[in-house]
Amino acid sequence: MRIVMKCLNEEKVVHRVISNFHDEPWVDNIIVIDGGSTDYTVHELKQFKKVRVFIHPYLDWYHDMEIMQANVMASYVPNGEIFFSLDFDERCNSALKEFLNQVNETQELPGGADVVHIARRTVEVLRHEDSPFAILGEDGWPIESHKTGQFPDYQARLFRRLPQHHWVQSPHRTLMGFEKNCNWNPDCYIEHFEKDDFRDREWIEKRWLRAYATRKTLGLPCDLHEPDVKSEYAEAIEADYWRDR
């Protein structure tokens, strides 16, 4: 099975993320689309024999960049092939790994679907008081503080590639062109961790809102949904906030 990922400046987490599944028997190769990292992300990725890295510059000011990267990522998968998508702040629980191994052996998706939605469990991480940094466990992953958001948060992550598949809506992308989809057993889930450094989360939230600010400036509607803006980042939805940035 092919794993597809995209990243930008993830040097510090590459080893723990890739090593978490790199040696699994169901993983044939790992395609990573790097957005033009300025740290040692690409160097770290090339230490893993199953990883192939392709550079596609991430244009931070371009409001559809998230979905463009997602579509580029999928373009490296041949039509008809089964593949799985994962982010650099996520890992698979043991039940999900077993399920992916079964899919790889049978080369069939449940119920003849071409898209399988996998549950995702998001957790806030443990931090020292007044510190933005996560406390890491012996495995290099942040120690969980508490669950946040809804569960299961179903995500389209397992696919049989069809030529009409394409992503829309930035940044929280939605897949179009699928023929049949299904939600899988929530016991098989992706573990999604908040950022090790909370300041990275602030940067991401504001970067996403920049997309909406750009659309607003151009007189364009939102892709599919109005943004759910957190009060502490609300200023970033206004075009004036980005004028000198």
pLDDT tens digit string along 182-208?
Answer: 999 999 999 999 999 988 888 777 877
Contact 216, 237 (CB under 8 A): yes
Q: Is the pLDDT of residue 77 over 80?
A: yes
More confident residue, 110 or 208: 110
End-to-end CA distance of the chain: 41
CA–CA separation, 148 and 125 (whole Å): 10
Tell me how crowded residue 22 is: count the other CB atoms within 10 A of its CB.
15
> What pLDDT sits at residue 225?
66
Q: Are 31 and 76 in contact (CB under 8 A)?
A: yes
92 has a pLDDT exceeding 70 = yes
The model's pTM is 0.89
Residues 25-36 pLDDT 10s: 999 999 999 999
- Under the banding of pLDDT at 50, 70 and 90, the label for residue 111 is very high
> What pLDDT band is residue 223 in, cutting at 50, 70 and 90?
low
Q: Look at residue 171 in the predicted model and tell me its pLDDT.
A: 72
Ordered by start, the domain boundaries in the chain are 2-196, 199-242
What is the torsional sign of CA 172, 182, 153, 140?
negative
Percentage of the chain beyond pLDDT 70 is 97
- Cβ atoms 181, 173 nearer than 8 A: no
pLDDT value at residue 236:
86
Class of domain 2-196: alpha beta
Beta-ladder partners of 197: 133
CB-count exposure of residue 146 (10 Å: 0-12, 13-18, 19+)? exposed
